[in-house]
Chains A and B, each alone.
Chain A
């Protein structure tokens, strides 16, 4: 379909990827429904981001997490969407994160715009971003227990923020 906006495959696109894989050898390149994706271990995420930044990916347009509870061996996957305006292409970085130690390096030193996105990921999934300057809840109240977007967090009635309110009759 023509609505398919797979990133513009301009000349030299593979060269960018090759340079990235050369800079960080642990990068695995792949494709997902026409998009280019790379998978890196959590310990190398900051290095990959730094290398990608140097290769012309100016913007971290999105950062989110997927909870593959019961679907995969490694429960979480951090998904970083980088955007290069000069090459007009996107790069999706997938980082598997185990449930036992959900910690990845923060991208804020490389991409300051990841600040809110990482806070949201922490709030919703409980992924810790090492080196983040202000890793606090952003959407949920500060005293909220649990991480709502995890698959084992039930949808249902939960007490609202104002607690112990007197019954109005």
Chain B
């Protein structure tokens, strides 16, 4: 039995000291209820293919204000997946309005991109969506290559497909794991991260890093696949499906899981389209839209896979779509690994890709190319282009403007998490406050991608 404290000075009781709140602690922040102030009281609604989409700032004036309470969730709340902050207006247990407040992780990456050459840009974009760095690199590289008009060797394309699909697997594993953790299935969390380690270990072997690889670069990839990569991929292909079966046993028909996810956080296909929501969230609402099929890139049209869709658009369907997409990605990985073409892993265009080390000793021209690429970078013809790929969270786009110099005039990333976040007020409207974390987790936002 614990001894009673002899005097109150032995233990510290919070609230016994006068709080020290300096002026600087409160000035200069935007905390507070003013975020939820009504900006306009007139009702705005939009017709979308027959269904009425009502926006989140519409206020139901029939309810007395005294029953309402504004709760700040985040930016440090662990289930907000980073630094997402939500202002939630509650009426008892019911969520009436939600306003996502973002920008806590804004690091000005689009500004940074203007100061980096096209070759250096990969190190910048890879840090945006830190769960899917290879997709960011691929999107950026494809946009640069589109402006350059360079030809990418088949092996480089196959390596890109292999690596990005592995990245999709690891990203969806994290999404499923954190989704489980947020709802209370803690073992799902441990299993998901355990299997992700397999993929990350392969990434480390291939690219040298577990994340922020800068592996896919304009012109190809940074290095060839390592010796013995076939065995590593074979192990991934053997162990992850087995792990997925475990997950199915754990969650698929688990009554608690079903109770927490079925019919929760519903968003319809029309609302998804109206709010620019893409990726698994759109597919879970029943729209079979996948840019890998619709607007293929990097030779992905040569692989066989299916687009996984749901029907109800709830948290459960989004979880099912992600599990299904892991299976489909594994199919693509198997095909890519089985038919890996031989040849170069980067383009032979010496204006874009640096020459091999030994050529520099032999050839004056190779030395000049090497020097030019690493000092001023390669020049990209003037022009502007938009290129989108299917990232794990949806349409990942890169809008690139070049003025003919070695650095982009403007590099804008269409971040899927940023647009998808607009779906949160729709999903959470009139739901229970306990379902908030389930909705956030099922959307799988990565704040590095949202804020850039």
Contacts and interface: CB of A to CB of B under 8 A. Distances in A.
Interface of A: 1-5, 7-8, 32-35, 58-62, 64, 66-68, 71, 79, 81, 83, 85, 88, 90, 92, 108-117, 120, 124, 133-134, 137-143, 148-149, 151, 153, 155, 161-166
A114 B274 CA distance: 9
A33 B145 CA distance: 11
B397 A33 contact: no
A129 to B, nearest CB: 13
B115 A155 contact: yes
A59 B385 contact: no
Nearest to B106: A139
A35 B383 CA distance: 11
A139 B451 contact: yes
B412 A109 contact: no
Nearest to B410: A66
Nearest to A90: B386
B44 interface: yes
B350 interface: no
A59 B385 CA distance: 19
Given A1-B149, A1-B150, A81-B399, 9 more contacts: A2-B299, A33-B147, A64-B410, A85-B287, A88-B295, A112-B53, A113-B277, A138-B103, A165-B24
A166 B23 CA distance: 10
Interface stretch (B207-215, B306-314, B417-425): B417-425
A58 B395 CA distance: 14
A50 B409 CA distance: 30
Q: For the complex, would chain A's binding face be called helix, strand, loop or mixed by DSSP majority?
A: loop
**Band of interface residues on B:** 35 or more
B227 interface: no
B164 to A, nearest CB: 12
A133 B57 contact: yes
B343 interface: no
12 contacts: A1-B149, A5-B295, A5-B296, A8-B294, A35-B386, A59-B278, A66-B410, A81-B399, A92-B386, A111-B274, A117-B276, A133-B55
Contacts of A35: 385-386
Contacts of B150: 1
Interface stretch (B25-33, B174-182, B333-341, B358-366): B25-33
B446 interface: no
A140 B110 CA distance: 13
B426 to A, nearest CB: 9
Interface string B383-401: 1111111000001010101
Most-contacted residue by chain B among A3, A110, A153 (CB, 10 A):
A3
Q: Which 6 A-B pairs have the closest CB atoms?
A: A113-B276, A139-B103, A62-B414, A113-B275, A139-B106, A64-B412
A156 to B, nearest CB: 11
Given A3-B145, A81-B399, A116 B419 contact: yes
A113 B111 contact: no
A116 B40 contact: no
Interface string B121-149: 00000000000000000000010011101
Contacts of A151: 114
B297 interface: yes
A111 B414 CA distance: 16
B51 to A, nearest CB: 12
B289 interface: yes
B383 A32 contact: yes
Given A33-B146, A71-B403, A140-B103, A5 B388 contact: yes
B103 A141 contact: yes
A52 B395 CA distance: 20
A111 B422 CA distance: 12
A77 to B, nearest CB: 9
B108 interface: yes
A7 B295 contact: yes
B152 interface: yes
